[in-house]
Structure 1
Amino acid sequence: MSDASQTNSIATSATSTPSTPTSATSTAAKPELSALTLGFIPLLDAALLVIAREGGFFESEGIEVTLSRENAWSTLRDKVAAGMLDGAHMLAPMPLAMSLGLSRAPCETLAPIVLSRHGNTVVLSERYAEGMLSPSQTSPADNARKLRQLLDQRRLSGAISPPRLAMVYPWSCQHLLLRRWLSLGDIDPQDSVELVALPPPRMVDALREGQIDGFCVGEPWGSLAQHRDVGRIVARGADLMPGHPEKVLGVTASWARRYPSTLAALVRALQAAADWLHSAADAMPRTRGWLALPPYLDRSMSHLDQQPLNNPTADLRIGDELRPRLTDFIVLAQQLQPLLEMRDRQIDSPTVEACYSAVHFDAATHQ
């Protein structure tokens, strides 16, 4: 478990706490842990964790939660596996990848609640986005075909270096979305482009410095690149994989077995945070204000001051359908299968079912 004194820990006290629903702690078992640490990556879809912390929803469930900002998904993954974090805001495919031992030793990991859906954009540098329209004006396929035409022209002119495109983690929806978008233009992701992994907070600067030529990432980084005239949004993940789960709360299976009442308290607090976000008249501006605090997203939020979090730029859906639907994750696993086959691996149904079962959500909410 992380020490609250570590340099990247967040222990900002809640201010102006919103009215919370009646706590379930009077009828539920007391949490085994009174204090715990959850990791997150600075993205808008970490909002439920921030709301639950700043809005007092964790406190109402009898738990004190410290939020620890991590800058890379691999670091967050390793800290959860090592027990340095009690759990974390995770990419939807990450619990499965951890359980299968992809990129590290196997660690059985669960996703008891869905935090968000959608929220990603594909961004290209102005050099490669020439002639492309915004996603609201055209289809993802049209812009992908324009990229193919540009790449063909460059080959004819003797240019041989492929564009370098970044995604956030090899086992992520961003990787799948980028490959799907390229396929719409009949662009081979193995030969026609170079795909690299890069932490979300590095994307905009890497594009500006010419280290990469484009990326697929969650908000606010895509809209920030466009706001700063560093790149142009050419496709939305919501159009490429409609309805897909994007972020989940992830905990190891051993942690869930050891602290079942603490996990139930986490689930109830996040559900209460989502209910407040969707019902309180001032929820959106207050959430933006919390996310813009230095421990969370800080100045990367400044260009979104007057926009809702679910703005059309990325169609981010926070706190919609928190209960894990196994069918969603079976589809996600099927889309990951070609990447596993490159490593001579297969996804087995029992592992998918174990990772994304709704049993912990149902137990916490008595469904």
Structure 2
Amino acid sequence: MRETATSPAATPELESLTLGFIPLVDAVLLIVAREQGFFTQQGLDVTLSRENAWSTLRDKVAAGLLDGAHMLAPLPLAMSLGMERAPCETLAPVTLSHGGNTLVLSSRLCEQSRAALGDDPAESARALGEWLARHTDATRPRLAMVYPFSCQHFLLREWLARGGLAADRDVDLIALPPPRMVAALREGQIDGFCVGEPWGSLAEHEGVGRLVASGAQLWPDHPEKVLGVTRFWARRYPATLAALLRALKNASDWLADRPEHRRQARDWLALPPYLDRSVSHLDTLPEGQGPIRQRLYGGDLLRPNVEAMDRIAEPLRCHLHDKGRTLDIRTLHECYAPVHFDAAMHH
């Protein structure tokens, strides 16, 4: 059945709600909407719940312990298709960020392999591959990503493939929560990772790792994070959802308005309930600078775009094919349809 949005009522059905987030820079719209009062302006009392692992956040949304959450772009589709857990129909009515991922190797491995950030991400992958070919007795690099169905996992595999490496043959892949990445690299538990900001630039700032490629080089301007809610929740609380979307749009407009707003947003991110000291190396909120080129606000960022999800959906399609299943195109379109966003903006 095609997803449609109920015309939003003037007053949200819920006065108080809880939204989950993972400590990443691209949770900024939720944090700005709360700290600057945009949720309150829409009649909402929103609590932001810091979660440390995507699997925990996923399960809390599915169980109704969170009203919604900052999510990896592929996660609503993976939840709807029942990948890794029982199916839970989930929607992504707004996009929160594009890009922002970094691929990092330990400083030691970069020195050994001479892998370095350049204009072509394949060069660093080839450098790693050539070093491994010369040192067949070396321990296979252990590389971390944040979740099996994440852009970080897909980007890491693509980067390796561009260097002639096979993820399932030449390296060991593990999943780690984003806040654990830098410490795990420092302690030698992993040799590299792919993760969203601020963790990649923090590893470089602290001297424990070096950027060797970015998601912007591999998948330019791809949708990275979304707001995820269950279909059941969206149908039960349409006016609440519309108010949430308007608050996030106001937060985006506020960020785009002035540089000092982006500096203020960075200061809010640095508060202990959010990202704390992990953003202390950032002078301001990133504004799309190379090589990371993260987009966090403005323009057409927030409106969901089904066509932009095709590349992200392809690895899921391949995974399903290996399991003897096919990707339901209707489910893909319903997950990322702009119908709720458009209804909220036109109200």
Q: TM-score range by the shorter chain?
A: over 0.9
Partner of 1:17 in structure 2? none
CA contact (8 A) 2:125 2:162 kept: yes
Confirm whether residue 59 of structure 1 aligns to residue 37 of structure 2: no
Q: State the TM-score, normalized to the length of structure 1.
A: 0.89
- Structure 1, unaligned stretches of length 5 or more? 1-26
Percentage identity across aligned positions? 61
Deviations 1:131-165 (A, max 9, x none): 54653x4310111110110110111xx33x31111
Opposite residue 308 of structure 1, the aligned amino acid is P
2:279 pairs, out of 275, 286, 301, with 301
Question: Residue 110 of structure 2: SS of its match in structure 1?
Answer: coil
Cα deviation for residue 307 of structure 1 reads 6.3
Question: Residue 282 of structure 1: SS of its match in structure 2?
Answer: helix
Opposite residue 330 of structure 1, the aligned amino acid is D
2:179 pairs, out of 198, 201, 208, with 201
Partner of 1:327 in structure 2? 307
Partner of 1:82 in structure 2? 63
The structure with the largest helix share of the pair is 2
CA contact (8 A) 1:326 1:357 kept: yes
Matched pairs, number: 337
Q: Distance in 2 between matches of 1:274 and 1:338?
A: 34
- Structure 2, unaligned stretches of length 5 or more? 1-7
Partner of 1:20 in structure 2? none
Partner of 1:351 in structure 2? 331
Give the 5 Å matches for 1:214-253: 214-253=192-231
2:84 pairs, out of 103, 106, 111, with 103
Partner of 1:22 in structure 2? none
Deviations 1:236-271 (A, max 9, x none): 001100121000000000000000000000000000
Cα deviation for residue 354 of structure 1 reads 1.0
Confirm whether residue 180 of structure 1 aligns to residue 180 of structure 2: no
CA contact (8 A) 2:205 2:281 kept: yes
CA contact (8 A) 2:73 2:223 kept: yes
Cα deviation for residue 344 of structure 1 reads 3.2
Opposite residue 40 of structure 1, the aligned amino acid is F
Give RMSD over aligned pairs: 1.5
Deviations 1:11-31 (A, max 9, x none): xxxxxxxxxxxxxxxx95210
Deviations 1:223-244 (A, max 9, x none): 0001111111000001100121
Q: Distance in 1 between matches of 2:130 and 2:219?
A: 24
Q: Distance in 1 between matches of 2:123 and 2:145?
A: 21
CA contact (8 A) 1:132 1:234 kept: no
CA contact (8 A) 1:223 1:313 kept: no
Deviations 1:307-366 (A, max 9, x none): 635342421100242101110112321233223334333211011011011110011011
2:188 pairs, out of 170, 193, 210, with 210
CA contact (8 A) 1:44 1:309 kept: no
Confirm whether residue 121 of structure 1 aligns to residue 102 of structure 2: yes
Q: Distance in 1 between matches of 2:39 and 2:285?
A: 27
Q: Distance in 2 between matches of 1:49 and 1:281?
A: 19
1:92 pairs, out of 69, 73, 81, with 73
Deviations 1:192-243 (A, max 9, x none): 1111100000000111111111000000000000111111100000110012
Q: Distance in 1 between matches of 2:206 and 2:321?
A: 39
Opposite residue 185 of structure 1, the aligned amino acid is G
Q: Distance in 2 between matches of 1:237 and 1:344?
A: 30
Opposite residue 65 of structure 1, the aligned amino acid is V
